[in-house]
Structure 1
Amino acid sequence: MNRDVAGIILAGGRSRRMGGGDKSLLALGGARLLDHVIARFAPQVGTLVLSANGDPGRFAGLSLPVRPDTVAGFAGPLAGVLAGLDWAAENTRCPYLVTAAGDTPFLPENLVERLMAATTGIRGSMAVASSGSRQHPTFALWPLDCRDDLRRFLVDEGNKRVSAFMDRRDCIEVDFPIEDISGVSFDPFFNINTPDDLAEAERLSQSMIA
């Protein structure tokens, strides 16, 4: 656990390819997608919050604070990041926030450790995870002192592109290896977008148990 880091799970997507609704609450391996994410992510951070819009009551069983977007309209993942930065600034003494997506049940259990290590000694720096030569912008370390800049980026400039904001901040890329389960290679940032993805995640989950 890193007590200097607050964590936020981004679960505010519209899940169109899954037919709408909260895909993070779909069943996987006898639990919900979100349960798997929490089990891997919560031990890595000092405090954890959930980013989601609408009725927070549907997440009541998780015992997590739920933070809606603070930017009007559906501004995508960056709105959730900003909500998390504001929440951490108001409720914690953590100088950093790490984000994780709510539909990634196999996220690395050393995510926070490696992102923090990449920025050690570099004040105010950001770090983003990558794997297989691809960045994963929803898995990143954000210094709290970037929140005013992010608010201007979203509200004043109307820019919603996570990668564009990261480019502006000279974000450090941290590569995570492709993993192996029983001879099957998979990306630890594999996320659930479609029913076929959910079926594949179920197969991977069963392989982990076997």
Structure 2
Amino acid sequence: MQIEANQIVGVILAGGLARRMGGGDKSLLLIGGRKILDYVVESSCAQLNTVIINANGDPKRFAAFDLPVQADIVPDFAGPLAGVVSAMAWVKQNQPNVTHIITMAADTPFFPKDYVTRMVDMMQFQEKRLACASYQGRTQPVFGLWPIDLFDDLYKALVEDDLRKVDRFTAPYGVADVPFDELAANPFFNVNTPQDIALGEQQLEATNTLLTHD
């Protein structure tokens, strides 16, 4: 069955604790004079009809992005899977006809512009229930395509089984690997440390240079 664009909701996962950045919202830090989250929202909204942010704490700090904000529905900052199951809960309540969510990290400003299309195409080509992006042999578990009908299984895994690792949950269901190896720079580069801000500035400058010469 072909998955249409209006059957997918995009989820920007911003619920982490950012310990290596000293806490706070690293997605609101600046690269190239713009918030990191500006890049993520712009690319997500260009590829999807509906996008939400998964974040804990006061949602007003994301008000400028004019997107729904869904907090975790499980306690104790249970990692990316908590964001996934919480986004599924939002979809079930607000857009019950949607069949899938697709996730992006809030601190990953340069993820691919064709990310959604390639994830859907490869998942269907490989006839798998889920898809996960990869780059140069390294999987990117925060960049995944998830069917909403896994909500009950995922909620149980988090609440009853205390499961936290994405790949441990997804493996039994069958996951399509979606490589983006042809890209010169890692499109899933994410900001974890203050030093990464400088690296992000360099990658942005290199990208802009390439676009100027195209």
Q: TM-score, normalised by structure 2?
A: 0.91
Which amino acid in 1 is paired with 2:187?
A: P
Q: How many angstroms does 1:119 deviate by?
A: 2.3
* Corresponding position: 1:158 with 2:157: no
Q: CA deviation at 1:122?
A: 7.2
* Residues in 2 aligned to 1:25 and 1:19: alpha-carbon distance in whole angstroms: 14
Within-5 A mapping of 1:46-125: 46-92=49-95, 93-120=97-124, 125=129
Deviates further, 37-46 or 113-122: 113-122
Instruction: Give the TM-score, by structure 1 length.
Output: 0.93
Of Structure 1 and Structure 2, the greater strand share is in: 1
Counterpart position of 2:212: none
Aligned residues: CA RMSD: 1.5
User: One-letter code of the match for 1:50?
Assistant: I
Q: Distance in 2 between matches of 1:102 and 1:44?
A: 16
**CA offset digits 1:52-83 (Å, max 9, x no partner):** 00000111111011000000211111000001
Extract unaligned runs of 5+ from structure 2.
210-214
Task: Give the Cα–Cα distance (whole angstroms) in 2 for the partners of residues 177 and 51 of structure 1.
Answer: 28
- After superposition, the C-alpha distances for 1:9-68 in whole angstroms (9 at most, x for unaligned) are 001111111111000000111110000011111111120000000000111111011000
Residue 13 (structure 1) aligned with residue 16 (structure 2):
yes
Within 5 Å, give how 1:115-194 maps onto structure 2. 115-120=119-124, 125-180=129-184, 186-194=185-193
1:69-118, CA deviations, whole angstroms, 9 ceiling, x for partnerless residues? Answer: 00021111100000111111211121110000001010011111011112
Query: 1:124–1:143: 8 Å Cα contact kept in structure 2?
Result: no
% identical aligned pairs: 41
SS at match of 2:15: coil
- Distance in 2 (CA, whole Å) between partners of 1:71 and 1:190 is 28
Q: Runs ≥4 in structure 1, deviation > 6 angstroms?
A: 121-124
| Unaligned residue ranges in structure 1 (runs of 5+) | 181-185
How many pairs does the alignment contain? 205
**Counterpart residue type for residue 166 of structure 2:** V
